[in-house]
A and B are shown apart, each in its own frame.
Chain A
């Protein structure tokens, strides 16, 4: 059932290559003979390594995407953004609070957002980026954390922001603040951690560690399974 695969013309850094139309941009670069070092990580849409900009022939609009998650099309002019510099504020999580004042010290540029929504247009994860920046401004870290969660830190929003905001780092700080200070700590976890450190759980496990395989297999087969 192998069929004739249609070929398309694409342009990598201006040079023309004819490639099968079934390939992703990433695959197409390899087909063309590149061995990728930068701009390629998970190959599955999780790591954000492969941010790419392209233009279609005869179209003025610049388009963007993840090279591993976008298929080639005839007449694509491509370039990768293997590295787009972005500032990360350093902080000691124990010394800051989820407050507007502290956040503004770390990421003052979020207050320069012009509301142009360029970030939303480019986000490959369809995140409402501008909105999470707005939540960060207001100190609503719970909401910022929630809606920014699927961010793969690809940097495409940063590449287009006229206010020079580094959205993904601001969002990550918001999520860490939320998780550390706003979400409640698990009520039982500390107690379990203490019991382990104090050796209270040793006897039960050492009985198993020293048991022979026959005994272990028996216990395993008969173990009770939570519904």
Chain B
């Protein structure tokens, strides 16, 4: 009995219309309708959500306000005295910042190439978006598929705005990545004879979505993590990087780490640095809830940017149409795409469908926002927000009883924990902030515009253009994690360690901020969000 009496009353409408909706297909939008709803309602198109960046190498480029706030901020080291000439606390060949899938992959390949590697990560190793991915990972490893066909899907999905070299690397490495993971003992869904079970995902022209039940990211993350420990690689947890260190020639040379527990700063010197800090959902653009983990605060973007790395498509954000809206404990939680894939449809307060349930993520999200904001047809919630229904019980009618338990066990469990039985009661959903399409620009080896500084994973940009397809992110973090790890290791081999460590670039950035009057009193990276629930 989690739904209030008022909600139960409204739910009756959904039940009333349900029989008349079974087997009926709601029309898809025309291309013009799609453009229209996107332009009017997608947060990426709402101009007052953005502003022009006043400082740094991409001065003048457009960023969401909340990200611009982080970019236009003072370093936490502004008033901190650090002795950069003292013996560093850590001294390695390859310093990897961030212990998610990208960081772990980079570590394994750099280590295999003979480098001395260290991972510094903000929370526990594996407390990361990678752990949360449910759906799957793409790779063209079937006979009717090829990297070229995959490439076309990636480019078309990304509105042809992808950097071709990066998209090429992504799809060509994909089968190698799956093989690497298979050899490492990752438990993919398979048939008796070992054939990987693969399905479609949004925007795929071949069935190439590999999965590990509905815990694909978790299975990949825990396997990678286990292997990193097996290899004896040094992992320092609760050590957030706050600034990249450069040497006297402007090359990356390490990072300043912040021990979250003792609140001390530590110096890590390194020949090469890989930023693998993930996404930025916890910046809550335009107040949106997020599906991201607690530490997704864009730290790597600002650190890299201050050091001179360029951004690309940093204003392109993916909203997932089906985020949990109620009960409040599930706010922002990702309701897997599979729910709609199976045929659950969004409904308004009258229990009527208002959009085809399998439009692309951006269009579906925009239509839901329109239904609530413009048309006033959303369901008002006791928490003060509005949402729409997602009719999950219809699945038990269309696919037979037991479908939800079989096909959506993680969802069933999560809603049950808070008193909603999605087999009998429809879900309440609203778009949730899900993924950062852009990031710091890299080349095919994960190298940024700054010498010896690499970026891999969700922090990197260019691979997916302005729209990433499901299953290509888990792929990219491993492809570019490994590429960055290998290249950094190779580079470190014939390089002496940095002689001098400096933070002059941070001081210069501060001067620029002051000249532009841009920072106010903000400090960034913010490292962790501050929630009060008031």
Residues of A within 8 A of B178 (CB): 186, 189
The chain A residue with its CB closest to the CB of B200 is A226
> Which residues 194-224 of A have a CB within 8 angstroms of B?
196-197, 201, 204-205, 207-209, 213, 216-217, 219-221, 223-224
> Which residues 25-71 of A have a CB within 8 angstroms of B?
27-28, 30-31, 33, 35-38, 40-47, 49, 69-71
Given A38, A45, A180, which contacts B184 in the complex, CB threshold below 8 Å? A180
Rounded to whole angstroms, the CA-CA distance of A102 and B328 in the bound complex is: 47
Residues of A within 8 A of B171 (CB): 205
User: Is B187 within 8 A of A179, CB to CB?
Assistant: yes
Residues of A within 8 A of B226 (CB): 88, 172-173, 176
Rounded to whole angstroms, the CA-CA distance of A219 and B532 in the bound complex is: 51
Rounded to whole angstroms, the CA-CA distance of A189 and B142 in the bound complex is: 8
Given B175, B232, B327, B329, which contacts A193 in the complex, CB threshold below 8 Å? B175
User: Is B132 within 8 A of A46, CB to CB?
Assistant: yes
User: Is A30 within 8 A of B533, CB to CB?
Assistant: yes
Residues of B within 8 A of A90 (CB): 229-230, 232
User: Is A185 within 8 A of B215, CB to CB?
Assistant: no
User: Is B205 within 8 A of A224, CB to CB?
Assistant: yes
User: Is A42 within 8 A of B294, CB to CB?
Assistant: yes
Rounded to whole angstroms, the CA-CA distance of A225 and B205 in the bound complex is: 4
A22-B328, A41-B131, A184-B193 are contacts. A70–B417 as well, Cβ < 8 Å?
yes
User: Is B147 within 8 A of A153, CB to CB?
Assistant: no
Interface centre among B132, B186, B329 (most CB of A within 10 A): B329
Rounded to whole angstroms, the CA-CA distance of A177 and B141 in the bound complex is: 23
Residues of A within 8 A of B82 (CB): none
Least Cβ distance of A137 to chain B in Å?
Answer: 20
Residues of B within 8 A of A92 (CB): 230
Least Cβ distance of B253 to chain A in Å?
Answer: 28
User: Is A47 within 8 A of B127, CB to CB?
Assistant: yes
> Is B188 an interface residue, CB under 8 A from the partner?
yes
Q: Mark A91-120, 1 if CB is under 8 A from B, else 0.
A: 111000000000000000000000000000
User: Is B418 within 8 A of A71, CB to CB?
Assistant: yes
Given A91, A176, A187, A221, which contacts B194 in the complex, CB threshold below 8 Å? A187
A47-B126, A205-B172 are contacts. A193–B383 as well, Cβ < 8 Å?
no
Q: Mark B103-126, 1 if CB is under 8 A from A, else 0.
A: 000000000000000000001101
Which range contains the number of B residues in contact with the other chain?
35 or more
Least Cβ distance of A44 to chain B in Å?
Answer: 5
Rounded to whole angstroms, the CA-CA distance of A37 and B140 in the bound complex is: 40
Q: Mark A167-195, 1 if CB is under 8 A from B, else 0.
A: 00000110111111001111111101100
The chain B residue with its CB closest to the CB of A177 is B185
User: Is A3 within 8 A of B293, CB to CB?
Assistant: no
Given A180, A187, A205, which contacts B195 in the complex, CB threshold below 8 Å? A187
A153-B222, A184-B193 are contacts. A204–B146 as well, Cβ < 8 Å?
yes
Which range contains the number of A residues in contact with the other chain?
35 or more
A41-B124, A41-B294 are contacts. A189–B532 as well, Cβ < 8 Å?
no
Residues of B within 8 A of A175 (CB): 185, 187
Rounded to whole angstroms, the CA-CA distance of A125 and B215 in the bound complex is: 13
Given A193, A204, A216, A223, which contacts B176 in the complex, CB threshold below 8 Å? A193
Rounded to whole angstroms, the CA-CA distance of A217 and B149 in the bound complex is: 13
Rounded to whole angstroms, the CA-CA distance of A176 and B171 in the bound complex is: 26
> Is A134 an interface residue, CB under 8 A from the partner?
no
Q: Looking at the complex, which of B152-160, B352-360, B477-485, B496-504 is the stretch in contact with chain A?
A: B152-160
Given B132, B206, B218, B223, which contacts A226 in the complex, CB threshold below 8 Å? B206
Rounded to whole angstroms, the CA-CA distance of A42 and B124 in the bound complex is: 11
User: Is B151 within 8 A of A208, CB to CB?
Assistant: yes
Least Cβ distance of A160 to chain B in Å?
Answer: 20
> Is B361 an interface residue, CB under 8 A from the partner?
no
Least Cβ distance of A87 to chain B in Å?
Answer: 11
Least Cβ distance of B445 to chain A in Å?
Answer: 17
> Is A12 an interface residue, CB under 8 A from the partner?
no
> Which residues 299-339 of B have a CB within 8 angstroms of A?
327-329, 333-334
The chain A residue with its CB closest to the CB of B123 is A41
Residues of A within 8 A of B217 (CB): 46
Residues of B within 8 A of A183 (CB): 187, 190, 194
User: Is A186 within 8 A of B532, CB to CB?
Assistant: no
Rounded to whole angstroms, the CA-CA distance of A17 and B146 in the bound complex is: 59
Rounded to whole angstroms, the CA-CA distance of A221 and B384 in the bound complex is: 43
Residues of A within 8 A of B194 (CB): 183-187
The chain B residue with its CB closest to the CB of A65 is B417
Least Cβ distance of A37 to chain B in Å?
Answer: 5
Rounded to whole angstroms, the CA-CA distance of A207 and B148 in the bound complex is: 9
> Is B399 an interface residue, CB under 8 A from the partner?
no
Rounded to whole angstroms, the CA-CA distance of A147 and B243 in the bound complex is: 43
User: Is A185 within 8 A of B182, CB to CB?
Assistant: yes
Rounded to whole angstroms, the CA-CA distance of A176 and B222 in the bound complex is: 10
> Is A145 an interface residue, CB under 8 A from the partner?
yes
> Is A1 an interface residue, CB under 8 A from the partner?
yes
Given A38, A126, A152, which contacts B238 in the complex, CB threshold below 8 Å? A38
> Is A24 an interface residue, CB under 8 A from the partner?
yes
User: Is B329 within 8 A of A24, CB to CB?
Assistant: yes
User: Is B152 within 8 A of A223, CB to CB?
Assistant: yes
Cross-chain pairs A/B with CB under 8 angstroms, 19 sampled: A1-B381, A23-B533, A27-B531, A35-B528, A38-B238, A40-B123, A41-B126, A88-B229, A90-B229, A93-B227, A149-B215, A150-B213, A172-B223, A175-B187, A184-B193, A205-B147, A209-B164, A223-B156, A226-B207
Interface residues of B (CB under 8 A from A): 4, 6, 123-124, 126-128, 131-132, 140-144, 146-149, 151-153, 155-156, 160, 164-165, 168, 171-172, 175-176, 178-179, 182-188, 190, 192-196, 200, 205-207, 213, 215, 217-219, 222-223, 226-227, 229-230, 232, 238, 260-261, 291, 293-295, 327-329, 333-334, 380-384, 410, 413-414, 417-418, 528, 530-534
Give 15 A-B pairs besides A47-B218, A175-B187 with Cβ atoms closer than 8 angstroms. A2-B383, A22-B327, A37-B123, A38-B238, A38-B261, A41-B123, A46-B217, A46-B218, A88-B229, A93-B230, A184-B194, A188-B143, A189-B141, A204-B148, A213-B160
Query: What 10 A-B pairs come out closest when comparing CB atoms?
Result: A184-B194, A176-B185, A41-B127, A220-B156, A180-B185, A204-B148, A179-B185, A205-B148, A1-B380, A179-B187
